[in-house]
A and B are shown apart, each in its own frame.
Chain A
Amino acid sequence: MSGAEVTLKNIFKSWNEISALNDISLDVPAGKFTALLGPSGCGKSTALRIVSGLEEPTSGQVFIGGNDVTHIPPAARDIAMVFQSYALFPHLTVAENIVFGLRVRGLVRKERDEKLKATAQLLGLSELLDRKPSQLSGGQQQRVALGRAIVADKSIFLMDEPLSNLDAKLRAEMREEIRALQDRLGVTMLYVTHDQVEAVTMADQVVLMNHGRVEQVASPRVMYEMPATLFAAKFIGTPPMVTFSPQLLSHSLTPSLLKKSQNLTFGIRPESLTLNDSGLINGTVGNVEYLGADALIECKVGDEFLLCRAPGRTQLTEGTPINLAFNVKDLHVFNTASGQRTDNMLPEIEMALSSQNASSELAS
Chain B
Amino acid sequence: MRNSAKHQWIYAWLLLSPAMIFLITFTHYPAVQTVISSFFSTGRGRRKSVFIGWDNYATLLLDEVFWKVLVNNFWYAIWTIPLSIIFSLAMALWVNDKLRGRGFLRMAYFTPTVLPLIAVANIWLFFYTPGFGLIDQIRGLFGFAEQNWMGSPDTALYSMIAVAIWKEAGFFMIFYLAALQTIPPSLREAASIEGASKFYYFRRVIFPLLMPTTLFVSINAVINSFRLVDHIFVMTEGGPNNSSSLLLFYIYEVAFDYWDTAYAATLTVVMLAILTTVAIGQFFFLDKKVHYK
Contacts and interface: CB of A to CB of B under 8 A. Distances in A.
A63 interface: no
Interface string A26-63: 00000000000000000000000000111000000000
Interface in A103-158: 103-105, 132, 134, 148, 152
A90 B293 contact: yes
B59 interface: no
A187 interface: no
A50 to B, nearest CB: 13
A79 interface: yes
- Identify which of A52, A80, A84, A101 gathers the most chain B CB atoms within 10 Å of its CB: A101
B186 A101 contact: no
- Chain A interface residue number, banded: 20 to 34
Contacts, number: 65
A101 B189 contact: no
Interface string A79-93: 111011101011110
- Chain B interface residue number, banded: 10 to 19
Nearest to B195: A75
B193 interface: yes
A74 B200 contact: no
B19 interface: no
Contacts of A91: 205, 208-209, 211, 291
B277 interface: no
A85 B189 CA distance: 12
B18 interface: no
B211 to A, nearest CB: 8
Contacts of B186: 83-85, 87
B194 interface: yes
Contacts of B275: none
Contacts of B205: 89, 91
Contacts of B208: 91
A134 B293 contact: yes
Contact of B189 (A76, A83, A103, A134): A83
B189 A87 contact: yes
B101 interface: no
B192 A54 contact: yes
A319 B269 CA distance: 91
A305 interface: no
B192 A73 contact: yes
A100 to B, nearest CB: 6
A54 B291 CA distance: 28
A80 B193 CA distance: 7
A215 B184 CA distance: 33
B1 interface: no
Interface of B: 184, 186-187, 189-196, 200, 204-205, 208-209, 211, 291, 293
Given A52-B193, A75-B195, 12 more contacts: A54-B192, A73-B195, A75-B193, A80-B193, A81-B189, A87-B184, A87-B187, A91-B205, A101-B194, A101-B196, A104-B191, A152-B194
